[in-house]
Amino acid sequence: MKACNELEDGYCPKVTYIVATKMHGTRFASSNRSLQLGKGLNLPAGTVVDTEITSFDKFDFYLQSSMGIQGTSIPTHYYILHDDNRLDADSAQGLCYYLCHGFARCNRTISMPNAMKYAQLASARARNWCKDIPAANPREYEERVDNMLDTKYLVDRNGNKSGKKQKSSLYQTSFFF
């Protein structure tokens, strides 16, 4: 809220914090043959499970937002951590489902919200870029990463500045969303 106050005095928007993960071992299947779709016999897109296997003391649910093309689909597990907007379960689940539409690389719904997918792609790009930097010396690591992100100088893959006033090689080789 401090950041909002810096934008404008008295500005205090209502905030809802939702976290999502696919790092769990939960899978869903139906004994009803009419609900088994595709080769993997997955449940239809938009299936929500918010009882029985969820926490009794937390606001959480599982959402299978896309129909699996191959194999068993992994639902996304959502946790509502803080909710100033007082969303009811249907509203929160609908919001999360609609956030899985409109991913630029795919004309179907994806299994996680777009912002989460773009963050995953960005972190994979950063991890790939930094994989050659030795982690033995944290100070050297920080300096090399700072050099890569420096927009004033051209920087090679080893993090060395060339002295030319150009954008860094990270900006020249990365794509932006």
Under 8 Å between Cβ of 15 and 84: yes
Give the Cα separation of 83 and 30 in Å (integer): 32
Span 111-167, pLDDT tens digits? 999 999 999 998 888 777 777 666 666 676 677 666 666 555 555 556 666 655 444
Count CB neighbours of 82 within 10 A.
10
* Cβ–Cβ < 8 Å for 71, 58: no
**Which amino acid appears at position 132 of this protein?**
D
Q: What is the pTM of this model?
A: 0.72
Pairing of strands 47-49, 16-21: unpaired
Token pair, residue 48, equals 């929500």
CA pair distance 137, 151, nearest whole angstrom: 24
Which comes out higher in pLDDT, residue 53 or 160?
Answer: 53
Nearby residues of 59 by Cβ (< 8 Å), 6 or more positions away: 79, 80, 83, 89, 92
Query: pLDDT class for 175, splitting at 50, 70, 90?
Result: very low
Question: Would you state the pLDDT for residue 132?
Answer: 66
Element (H, E) at 24: none
Specify the CATH architecture of the domain 2-112: 2-Layer Sandwich (3.30)
Q: Which two tokens stand for residue 32?
A: 């009803």
Q: In the predicted model, what is the mean pLDDT of the chain?
A: 81
Radius of gyration of the chain (CA): 22
Report how far residue 109's alpha carbon sits from residue 107's, in angstroms, rounded to the nearest whole number.
7
Q: What is the model's pLDDT at position 156? A: 57
Q: Are the CB atoms for 80 and 17 separated by under 8 Å? A: yes
pLDDT in tens, 78-110: 999 999 999 999 999 999 999 999 898 888 899
| pLDDT for residue 145 | 66
How far, in Å, CA of 80 to CA of 71, rounded?
29
- Where, residue-wise, is CATH 3.30.420.10 in the chain? 2-112
Q: Which token pair is 72?
A: 């068993």
Q: Which two tokens stand for residue 61?
A: 């649910």
